Structures are given as structure tokens and as C-alpha cells.
Amino acid sequence: MTTFDRYILHRFLHVYSIGFIALYGLFVVIDGFSNVDSFQENGEVSDNVAIIVNMAVHYVYQATLFFNMIGLQLGVVAVMVVFSQILKNSELYPILSAGVPTYRLIVPCIYGALIINAMMIVNQEIVIPRIAGKLQAPRGEDESFVQEVKPVYDRKTRIYITGQELYLSDQKIQGAVFGLPVPNITNTFTTLSADEAVFVAESAQQSSGWLLKNPTPSFDELELTETGRTIVLPRNDAQDVFVVTGVSFDELDSQATNYRLLSTARLTRRIKNPSTGLVTIRGQMLHLHDRMTQPLMNLAAILVALPLVVRKEGSGIVMNFAICTGVMALYLGVQLATFYLGKVNVVSADLAAWLPVIICGTATAWLSGSVQT
């Protein structure tokens, strides 16, 4: 890497850092002032300094989600700003006079984008899953312990699972309700209710499922089919009932559709789970393909931004920057549109995620001849 390469890389990282601090600072100010009452109501302290400390801790955790949300787009903006400054300071012409092609100057920015991508992967796969409880916590509280239950339909056993509250720390449902279908499980449709249901993970001795304590009706009152007797099992001298199902406690979380909190390995296991509903699987597959395509989309967008900012027949730096911004907004609109089509099952999940990359890659080749040389 040459001295000028290090100079461009340093400028790229500098612009990126300043942009992230400015954007996140603006988000903190707006969200903090809008929800300051929530910090006072949910927090256990009333001292102003302690409230500010709680707010600071909350937004430190939220910065991880914010980084993954705007990290790639901000990298493209940083490239646009860097090359606009190079043109403004007339630093490009000596390099071109020395026979260095314009696309050679984008290499340090590619290195910078790869650094950002690596940081985002570490953030997504390691950091966010470990602090998921804190990221879901209401403002002013240390961690999310109680969530509303999102009703789930077990696609494998056709059992309907719902409840009043979900305790994340204890992995249990308060006010659990299990709907046992006919004729798979019971001879007559039965609603199995219990004040408490505890999730039991899969082990070498038993399958995963929920242990319902003192359910109504009791196990002896259930009219189970032959298949049902392999799914609904008695426990503790038939006082409790164990329901075999692949639906885990985190899938009942009211915020379980927020796939950003899951690692790729955990997301893949959810997709392969036969109990997961088709609509949920489609959303998870779309998000999984999105994770794979985002780094490629970022690099392609950078290669599109260069010829738009450093144009042969540009009308000025401001106009070039405006045109580039408009094209990037158009690409974002195309990406949102294809994702919507994938979400409603008009196109497949893989095509919805990869189509923006194909379009952006085609535009890269098409615009390569318009760069200033």
C-alpha cells in the first residue's frame, strides 16, 4: 500500500467515523428527549445523574444495532465525500498525469469497506446475540425479562401455543394455553391451560417441549389418539403434562420476528426446524440471503459511486454528488421493492435478495466508461 493509498484510507475511515458519530448522536438526541419519561418511569432511581447514566448505558447497547443498520450505506457516503474532496482540492489530476488510473484510487476505499464489513460480521454474529436481552429491554431497565407472547402454530404437530407473558430468564410462559388439534392429537378439540409452562431443551434422554404444571384438563381427562400419546406425555404422577414440540421459548417472544438479534447459525437452525411456520421461514430465509448479499451490494455500490462522482463530463462537484445521491436512493428503493415482493411471496427469497446485487453489478459495468481518466 502506497503513501497515497494510506492517505485515502485514513480519510475514508475519518469521514466514516465522523458520519457515524454525527448520525447516532442525532438519533440519541431525538430519541432521548422523546422518551425521557420512559427512563424515569421504568428506572429504579429518581436522581437526574443516575437517569443520565442509565440513558448512556441504554444507547451504548443500541449503538450495535444502529451500526448494523446504517454501516454499509454510510460506507458508500464516505466514498462519495472522499472523492468529492479529492476533486475539490485538485488532488486527482497529478495522480492521473502520473499514469495512475482512476479506479486504482478506489482500492483503499475497498479495503476500508472490507474492514467495515468484518466489523459488522463480528457485531452481528458475536456481540448482538450476547446482548439481545439488553437490546430488547424497555428504556430505563437493565434487561428484558418479560415479553408479550406471540402466538405460534407448530407446523409439525399442529399445536397452537399462546399465553399471557413470557419470562425470558426462566424460559417459561405465564398463563399458557395449548390448543390440541383433531384428529392428530385428540379425538375432540381440547384447550390445555396451565398457570405456568416451562420450556425443556432437547437432550439425549428426551425431545424438546413444554412442561405444563397442573394443567386443565388433567392428563387423565384427555382423549388422546395413538399419535397424541407420543406427543402429550404425563409427568409427576400425571399431575403435570409434557408436550413435545419444536417451538422454543424464543420463538414465542413478541419480538422474535426481529431477526437482527440472531446469529446466522441460530437463524439457520430456525429455518431447518420443521415446527416453524411457512410465513416465518420465508421471512427468515429472506433475512439470511440479505446478510450474504449486503457485503457484495456495498462493494458494487462503491464502484457505482466512483464514476458518478468523478465523471468525465460532470457539471460540477455539487451536481455530481447530487446525481450520485439520487442513484443510490434509487438502488435503495429497488432493494426495498424486491424485498417486499419476496416477503409477500411474489418472487422467491433468494431472487429478492440477489436481484439488487445483479442490477447494481450491471450498472457498475455500464458506468465504468464514464469515469474521468
Q: Name residue 354's amino acid.
A: W
Is the distance from CB of 371 to CB of 310 less than 8 angstroms? yes
Q: Using only C-alpha atoms, what is the Rg of the chain?
A: 27
Residue 22 reports pLDDT greater than 90: yes
Same domain? For 128 and 45 the reply is yes
CB atoms within 10 A of CB 320: 21
Q: Which domain holds residue 86?
A: 3-139+278-370
In a domain, 260, yes or no: no
In a domain, 263, yes or no: no
What b/e sequence results for 131-141 when a residue is b if at least 16 CB atoms lie within 10 Å of its CB, and e otherwise? bbbbbbbebbb
Same domain? For 125 and 159 the reply is no
Rounded Cα distance between 22 and 28, Å, is: 10
In a domain, 326, yes or no: yes
Is the distance from CB of 238 to CB of 106 less than 8 angstroms? no
Rounded Cα distance between 240 and 294, Å, is: 48
In a domain, 268, yes or no: no
pLDDT at residue 140, rounded to an integer: 62
Same domain? For 203 and 350 the reply is no
- As for how many domains the chain has, the answer is 2
Q: Cis omega (within 30 of 0) on the bond before 101? A: no
Q: Name residue 89's amino acid.
A: N
Same domain? For 12 and 108 the reply is yes
In a domain, 257, yes or no: no
In a domain, 259, yes or no: no
Residue 144 reports pLDDT greater than 60: no
Is the distance from CB of 150 to CB of 252 less than 8 angstroms? yes
Same domain? For 8 and 99 the reply is yes
Q: pTM, whole model, 2 decimals?
A: 0.77
Residue at a domain's end among 217, 252, 287: 252
pLDDT digits (tens, 9 = 90+) for 320-356: 888 888 888 888 888 889 888 888 888 888 888 898 8
Which residues, listed in sequence order, are joined to residue 199 by a DSSP beta bridge? 210
In a domain, 264, yes or no: no
Residue 357 reports pLDDT greater than 80: yes
Q: Which residues 6+ apart lie within 8 Å of 265 measured at CB?
A: 125
> How large is the average pLDDT for residues 97-108?
82
Same domain? For 179 and 288 the reply is no
Q: Tell me 5's DSSP state.
A: H
Is the distance from CB of 190 to CB of 221 less than 8 angstroms? no
pLDDT digits (tens, 9 = 90+) for 245-277: 888 877 777 554 567 788 888 888 877 877 676
pLDDT digits (tens, 9 = 90+) for 152-187: 888 888 888 988 888 877 788 989 999 998 888 888
Same domain? For 87 and 52 the reply is yes
In a domain, 157, yes or no: yes
Residue 34 burial class via C-beta count within 10 angstroms: exposed 0-12, middle 13-18, buried 19 and up: exposed
Same domain? For 88 and 155 the reply is no
Same domain? For 160 and 199 the reply is yes
Same domain? For 125 and 180 the reply is no
Q: 45 pLDDT band (50/70/90 cuts)?
A: low
Same domain? For 169 and 89 the reply is no
Residue 319 reports pLDDT greater than 80: yes
Same domain? For 105 and 58 the reply is yes
